[in-house]
Amino acid sequence: MSLVGLRRELEARGWECPVLNLNENRRVPSPEYIDVQGGWDYFCKVRKHVWDGYAVHVRVNGESKKGYLLALAALGLARLGGRPGLLTYCGGHRQTYFPAPKGSFRYLAFAFLFRTATRIYCNSDPVKQALLTTGLDPSRVVPIPHFSAQYVQFTPAALPASVSSFCSGVDGTFFLYVCYRKEYVLELLADCMRRFRARFPRIGFLLVGTSDRELEPLWQFFRDQGLGHAVCITGSVTHDVFLSMMTRSLACIRSPLTDGVSSSVMEALALGIPVLASDNGTRPEGVELWRQEDPESLLNLMIEAVQNHPAMVARVPRLVPEDNTHKLADDVEMVCRPDFRSKTTGLSAQSKARE
């Protein structure tokens, strides 16, 4: 969503914004993006655009080695070509590979990457403070949340047939954005689901967000946990369907500790939907917090969401979203304008992390 919104905003201002697709369908040609057939193809296409005068905007997080190398290659090429290299650091202030002990290989690797960028964007002040542990000039790091006012502008959509069928067989649902990765603590979630279903067998769980290659392993995990009948897993869906599923749920459950300002959490709060999220020290006001070391704390919130739902909804604060996409576009223009030559140009590269 943040990439789509930024691209739309910049193009409305007269910029050219081709996007290199690094998602699962990256090898499929489309007029909407530039296909990427492999690592060398990615390198050559970034190099071509840099040599043609484009700036580079790439994303990275502290969870992926491959994402690090892709970001380093793009920013390095921008440096060699004398073009601006913009880096968005996704996720929170505590991730697997960063922050890292000072002087360690991971610390030095990220310090080098950050110094290669002309500008770094992150989504909160705590994340900025983590980045500054590498000795960066604070003026080079700009915290702008990905969540923006456009995120809650949607048209209610018809649910997929599998979702409609599942919802017709239960009295209510919880909504979860999950992937088949360790940071989503699936074992903890499964344990709480089983214990919860022992008391409320008519409540189900809607799971969205996982990639196509993770879909079957995720299904198999929940079948192995004896929860195949309790969950409906859709994988990736359109934004309108995503919010349509969210708004019909009792509450959203958010499990990763590695979050920054999670867009799905902010969307739920803006729409008046309770959020039950792991306490990572940076959750926004209004989130119902639970601790990963204490599964009972999540279970108790799930029970309250069913038994005392109106009171939980009443605790959700009124949230007025800001136009952060506009703010980000303003800063991108400010960073890139001094390097303009005969035309305004910009290049984005995206790798999927939701997000």
Q: Which residues pair with 88 in a beta bridge?
A: 59, 121
Per residue in 116-154, pLDDT tens? 999 999 989 999 999 999 999 999 999 998 888 888 889
Provide the 3-class DSSP secondary structure of residue 90: coil
Confidence of residue 339 (pLDDT cuts 50, 70, 90): very low
DSSP label of 343: S
Per residue in 192-205, pLDDT tens? 999 999 999 999 99
Please tell me the pTM assigned to this model: 0.86
Return the pLDDT at 149: 86
Number of neighbouring beta carbons within 10 Å of residue 290 = 24
> Over 70: is that where the pLDDT of 350 sits?
no
Angle among Cα 99, 102, 103 to the nearest 5 degrees reads: 125
Check: CB of residue 67 under 8 Å from CB of residue 61: yes
Neighbour-count burial for 45-84, b at 16+ CB within 10 Å, e otherwise? bbbebbeebbbbbbbbbbbbeebbebbbbbbbbbbebebb
CA atoms within 13 Å, Cβ hemisphere of 92:
21
Return the pLDDT at 348: 62
> Over 80: is that where the pLDDT of 355 sits?
no
> Over 80: is that where the pLDDT of 307 sits?
yes
Mean residue pLDDT across the chain: 91
Per residue in 309-319, pLDDT tens? 999 999 999 88
Q: How many helices (H) and strands (E) does the chain have?
A: 13, 12
Per residue in 212-235, pLDDT tens? 888 999 999 999 999 999 999 998
In angstroms, the CA 335 to CA 320 distance is 28
Closest CA to 338 of 82, 148, 65: 82
Per residue in 151-178, pLDDT tens? 888 999 999 999 999 999 999 999 999 9
